Each structure stands twice: as structure tokens, then as C-alpha cells.
């Protein structure tokens, strides 16, 4: 390896940034990216707490046996749940992942510490604006905010400020990777995790750009500066944000899968080319697939719906299947090398009581169910049965919650102790938390799919329709409510565990106590 003189840099150079070497991974960690990763992760956990609380409230309102909230509060909570749990929590966590993957994994400084903090500050301000206006009841338009429904303009501004912050984080990520390479700190192909986060960043860029095209006119409309917004066109651009963002989430989830397998078991992908092709497929297919939101919309031909919705939707299953087999195959190969024999001997060697492994297993399982339910509803004809029924929230909770959120939780259990050099407060409780989440999500989403097949609509404050609803609707929605309760309990446990770890976890530098693969569970 040839020695490359580091290029001078405008922001570094004046003052050497403090750094340390991680005792477990051997990575060189600079102070600011470490602080920024933790800050974004903390904001993410707080957003998850808010989103989970809203989720509990709406889940218990949808259960006909409880009907907790009145309709005005229900629609406010519904909006808050979408914003906090589907926008704020994943994006904060993904920005943490971007800082981590570009800087820490490459042993490099950030391109710009100031840009990193500016992005974080904008995102926090945007998040506070969004949640504040939603709680005031002036933005009960659901997180999709389809015009001509109108929210207070602060709602749109909050979205825009948050989006600009996230955009800056993507820029900083890309420039950090480039700088690490031009400085000669990193050579050759990128590590798989950084590569994956890079694909997520590209999708985030497309997603945010599309979101600006949707939300700026909606904001102007809310001010009365423009007379109308064509709802179908808005839906197109909005889902350019909304669904592409879900693939930012999916890619980040897959990165978390590889991360957990590596940290907890020491397993890597069995074939780098195979996994990288799968990542590239996400980058290609994720944006056009938004067509599946229009399968039963008027004025769009079946040809467009079939190609942009159904076939692209089928195609999008391919990379997920590839990653699923690559992660599981990697774990199997590693355990076989450690001496597992027979067809299923490797399964007996898995430490099911380990929090990371519980989260990885649950995430793989529930995401697979979500892939199946999504493939069903992206089928042109079946979409007539499932469109805007409870089948849809079932699908998106299988993917975004049972898949992504659970994977992020598992990754956080492994990563946060390494970053803050404190022991996880309780490994045993963390494993229980993950399994409880799996149970809650499986119960909830299975019951929701059942309800959706019976035609129960999503996003309505009154499942019983004042007594006019069908008699078969009550049972699955009540069961879903039980699942919501379990998942919320488990989610609260996660937040408590994270807070306790950050505040009172035992300080240590001992690799044997910090290493996720060494801890006893």
C-alpha cells in the first residue's frame, strides 16, 4: 500500500481532533462523530418513544372493546404516530448510521463537524415544530397530508426544515466517504456496511427531493398563495418521499442485520458480490415502485399500474430475498466452521437468549411475512381487496416495525455500549424485550391482516361505525389491540433500557464486558 500524503483540509488542521481506538473492533473513533452518532441515536429513541405512545393510543382506540380516544384526538394521534414513528425515528437513526458508517467504520474524521451539528440542529427543530403543531390539534391531516386537506403552515415548515437537515446529513456522509478516500485513510472497496448505508443515502436523496416537490406546493396552498393542488399529482410526489423512504429504512435494516450478525456472532456475508448486487437492485427499483400506491386510483391506465406498481413491486422482493438468505447463510456458515453438524445442528448453537440475536431472528421472520403481505397487495387485482384496509397497516408494521424497528433496537443494544463505553444495563431484560416485541408485533399484524381481509378500513376513529360496522370486525381488531399493548410495553422497556444504559450503565473499557459476542445472556 503506497503512502498517500493526506490532503490539507479547510476545517481540520487548525486543531487536532481527539480520537480513541475501540478495544473491541480496533476502529479509530474521533470525538465528534462519536458524539454525533450518540446524539442522533438519542433523538431517534425519543422519537420512537413519542411514536410508540401515539401508536398505543390509536391501537387501543381501534379496538372496539376500548375505543379510548375521541375522534379529534384520534386523528391528531394518528398524524403524530405517522410522523414520529415513520419519519422522525427512522431518519434520526439512519443519520446516526450515516455518521457511523462514513466516519467510524472508515477510521476517518467527518468531512465537516459543523455541517454534522447543523444538520442535527435543523432536524431537531423540524421535529419539535411537527410534534408541537400536531399536539395543538391544528394538523390532523394524517402524516400523508393529502390536499385539499390543510394543516397549519407550521406543519409543512416543520417537514421542510427536517428534510433540509436530513439533506445536509446525506451531503456530509458522501463528502466524508470521498474525503476518507482522497486522504488515503481508506483504500479499496468500501466495507459492506458503508456500501449499504451509501445506497440508503442515495435513496434518501431521491426521497427528500421528491418530498420537497410535494410539500412546497402544499405549504404554499396552506398559505393561500396558490389556488389548488391536484391531489393525484401530490400523491405521486408524496409517495416518492414516502415509499422511497421505506426503502431507505429497508436498506438500513439490512445493514443492521449484517451489523448484528457480525457483532453478535462474528458472521459475515457469504458472498460480497451477491450482497452488493442486492444493494444495487434496491437503488434501481425503489423509486419507480411508488406506482403501487395508485393501483386503484382513477385516471391511470392498467399498463402503468402493472409495470410501475405490480411488476416493480414483485421485483423489489428480489433484493430482500437475497439479503435474507445471505444473512442467514452467513450465520450458518460461521456456526458450521465452529463445529455445527447435520442439517439443523447450527440452529442449536444459536444463543436465542442474546438480545441481538433475538432482534435479528424476529426481524428476519416478521419482515419475511411483511414481504409476503406486500407482494399480495402490490398485485393489481388483490389491491382492490386490500387498498386502505387494515391489510395495509399490517404490511407496513411487519416491514417497518417488526422488520426495521426491531433490527434497529438489536443494533442499538450492540452498538451503543461500544460508543459510550458503558455496559448494557441488563442483557437479560434486553433479550426479553426483543422477544416480547416479536410476540406483540406478530399478534398485532396477523390480526390486522385478518381484519383487512374482512374489509375493516384503516385510519378511522370508529371501527364499529356507530353500530353499523360488520359483526365480524370486532374480534380481530380487539386481538390487534392486545398485540399493540404487548408491543408498547416492550417498546417502553427498550427506551428505559437505553436511557439507563446511557445514564447509569457501568463504565468500562474491558473488551470482554463490552464485546457483543462475548457477553453472556
Partner 1 sequence: MAANESPVAGPAPGWGRRIPRDERVFLWLIAASLVGMTAVVFGWLAWGDQNVPSTYRYMTPTQFSAEVTKFVDRYQAADGLVYVPPGEDAYLAASRYIFYPGLALQANTQYKIWLSATDTLHGFSLVGGGQNINLELAPNHVTGMNLTVGDPGRYLIVCNEYCGLEHHTMKAYLTVVPAATMQQNVAAAGAGEEATPGAAPAGSIEISADPTGALKFDTASLEAAAGTVTIAMKNPSPIPHDVAIKGNGVDVKGKVVLKGGTSTVSADLDPGTYTFYCSVPGHEAAGMKGTLTVS
Site for partner 1 in 340-399 (CB under 8 A): 375, 379-381, 383-389
Of 59 and 147, nearer to partner 1 (C-beta) is 147
Minimum CB separation of residue 49 from partner 1 in Å reads 25
β-bridge partners, 507: 422
Minimum CB separation of residue 174 from partner 1 in Å reads 18
> Any residues with CB less than 8 A from the CB of 444 and at least 6 apart, and which?
59, 397, 480, 482, 483, 484, 486, 487
Of 68 and 318, nearer to partner 1 (C-beta) is 318
How many C-alpha atoms does 198 have within 13 Å on its Cβ side? Answer: 19
214-233: contacts with partner 1 (CB under 8 A): 230-232
328 is a contact residue toward partner 1 (CB under 8 A): no
Minimum CB separation of residue 14 from partner 1 in Å reads 31
CA distance 244 to 250: 10
66 is a contact residue toward partner 1 (CB under 8 A): no
157-186: contacts with partner 1 (CB under 8 A): 186
13 is a contact residue toward partner 1 (CB under 8 A): no
CB 330 within 8 A of CB 364: no
Minimum CB separation of residue 90 from partner 1 in Å reads 21
187-216: contacts with partner 1 (CB under 8 A): 188-193
CA neighbor of 441 nearest in space, from 475, 481, 397, 386: 397
| Helix, coil or strand: residue 252 | helix
Q: Which stretch binds partner 1 (CB under 8 A): 48-56, 121-129, 289-297, 411-419?
A: 289-297
84: left (phi over 0), alpha (psi -120 to 50) or beta: alpha
Of 191 and 288, nearer to partner 1 (C-beta) is 191
C-alpha cell at 221: 396552498
390-449: contacts with partner 1 (CB under 8 A): none
> Any residues with CB less than 8 A from the CB of 225 and at least 6 apart, and which?
none
Q: What is the contact mask toward partner 1 in residues 295 to 314, using x (rule: CB under 8 A)?
A: xxxxx-xx--xx---xx--x
Which member of 66, 115, 125, 149 binds partner 1 (CB under 8 A)?
149
Query: Would you give the DSSP letter of residue 422?
Result: B
Question: CA quadruple 240, 245, 251, 254: dihedral positive or negative?
Answer: negative
Of 52 and 82, nearer to partner 1 (C-beta) is 82
Of 353 and 457, nearer to partner 1 (C-beta) is 457
97-126: contacts with partner 1 (CB under 8 A): 105
Question: CA quadruple 92, 93, 96, 98: dihedral positive or negative?
Answer: negative
Which member of 432, 457, 478, 482 binds partner 1 (CB under 8 A)?
457
460-489: contacts with partner 1 (CB under 8 A): 460-462, 465-466, 468-470
21 is a contact residue toward partner 1 (CB under 8 A): no
> Any residues with CB less than 8 A from the CB of 246 and at least 6 apart, and which?
396, 399, 400
> Any residues with CB less than 8 A from the CB of 277 and at least 6 apart, and which?
322
CA distance 18 to 104: 13
Amino acid at each position: 500500500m503506497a503512502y498517500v500524503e493526506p490532503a490539507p483540509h479547510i476545517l481540520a488542521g487548525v486543531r487536532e481532533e481527539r480520537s480513541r481506538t475501540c478495544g473491541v473492533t480496533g476502529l479509530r473513533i474521533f470525538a465528534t462523530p462519536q458524539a454525533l452518532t450518540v446524539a442522533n441515536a438519542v433523538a431517534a429513541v425519543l422519537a420512537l418513544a413519542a411514536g410508540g405512545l401515539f401508536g398505543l393510543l390509536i391501537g387501543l382506540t381501534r379496538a372496539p372493546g376500548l375505543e379510548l380516544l375521541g375522534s379529534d384526538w384520534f386523528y391528531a394521534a394518528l398524524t403524530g404516530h405517522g410522523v414520529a414513528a415513520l419519519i422522525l425515528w427512522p431518519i434520526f437513526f439512519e443519520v446516526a448510521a450515516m455518521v457511523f458508517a462514513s466516519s467510524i467504520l472508515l477510521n476517518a474524521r467527518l468531512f465537516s463537524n459543523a455541517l454534522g451539528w447543523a444538520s442535527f440542529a435543523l432536524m431537531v427543530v423540524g421535529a419539535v415544530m411537527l410534534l408541537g403543531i400536531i399536539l395543538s390539534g391544528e394538523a390532523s391531516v394524517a402524516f400523508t397530508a393529502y390536499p385539499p386537506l390543510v394543516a397549519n403552515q407550521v406543519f409543512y415548515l416543520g417537514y421542510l426544515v427536517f428534510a433540509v437537515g436530513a439533506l445536509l446529513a446525506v451531503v456530509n456522509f458522501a463528502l466524508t466517504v470521498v474525503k476518507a478516500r482522497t486522504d488515503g485513510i481508506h483504500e479499496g472497496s468500501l466495507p459492506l456496511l458503508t456500501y449499504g448505508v451509501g445506497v440508503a443515502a442515495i435513496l434518501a436523496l431521491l426521497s427528500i427531493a421528491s418530498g420537497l416537490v410535494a410539500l412546497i406546493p402544499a405549504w404554499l396552498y396552506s398559505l393561500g398563495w396558490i389556488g389548488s393542488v391536484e391531489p393525484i399529482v401530490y400523491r405521486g410526489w408524496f409517495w416518492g418521499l414516502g415509499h422511497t423512504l421505506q426503502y431507505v429504512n429497508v436498506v438500513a435494516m439490512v445493514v443492521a442485520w449484517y451489523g448484528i450478525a457480525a457483532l453478535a456472532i462474528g458472521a459475515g456475508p457469504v458472498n460480497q458480490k451477491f450482497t452488493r448486487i442486492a444493494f444495487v437492485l434496491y437503488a434501481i427499483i425503489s423509486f419507480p415502485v411508488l406506482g403501487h400506491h395508485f393501483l386503484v386510483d382513477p385516471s391511470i391506465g392498467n399498463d402503468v399500474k402493472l409495470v410501475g406498481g405490480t411488476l416493480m413491486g414483485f421485483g423489489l422482493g428480489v433484493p430482500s430475498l437475497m439479503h435474507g438468505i445471505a444473512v442467514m447463510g452467513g450465520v450458518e456458515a460461521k456456526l458450521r466452521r465452529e463445529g455445527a453438524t447435520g442439517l439443523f445442528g447450527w440452529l442449536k448453537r444459536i444463543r436465542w437468549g442474546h438480545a441481538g440475536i433475538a432482534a435479528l431472528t424476529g426481524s428476519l421472520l416478521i419482515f419475511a411475512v411483511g414481504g409476503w403481505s406486500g407482494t399480495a397487495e402490490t398485485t393489481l387485482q388483490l389491491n382492490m381487496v386490500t387498498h386502505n384496509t387494515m391489510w395495509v397497516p399490517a404490511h407496513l408494521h411487519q416491514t417497518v416495525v417488526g422488520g426495521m424497528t426491531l433490527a434497529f433496537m438489536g443494533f442499538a443494544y450492540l452498538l451503543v455500549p461500544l460508543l459510550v463505553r458503558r455496559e448494557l444495563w441488563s442483557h437479560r431484560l434486553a433479550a426479553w424485550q426483543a422477544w416480547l416485541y416479536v410476540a406483540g408485533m406478530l399478534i398485532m399484524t396477523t390480526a390486522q391482516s385478518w381484519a383487512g381481509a374482512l374489509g375493516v378500513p384503516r385510519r378511522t376513529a370508529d371501527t364499529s361505525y356507530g353500530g353499523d360496522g360488520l359483526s365480524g370486525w370486532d374480534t380481530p381488531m380487539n386481538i390487534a389491540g392486545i398485540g399493540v399493548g404487548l408491543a408498547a410495553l416492550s417498546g417502553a422497556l427498550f427506551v428505559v433500557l437505553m436511557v439507563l444504559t446511557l445514564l447509569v450503565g457501568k463504565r468500562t473499557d474491558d473488551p470482554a464486558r463490552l464485546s457483543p459476542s462475548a457477553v453472556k445472556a
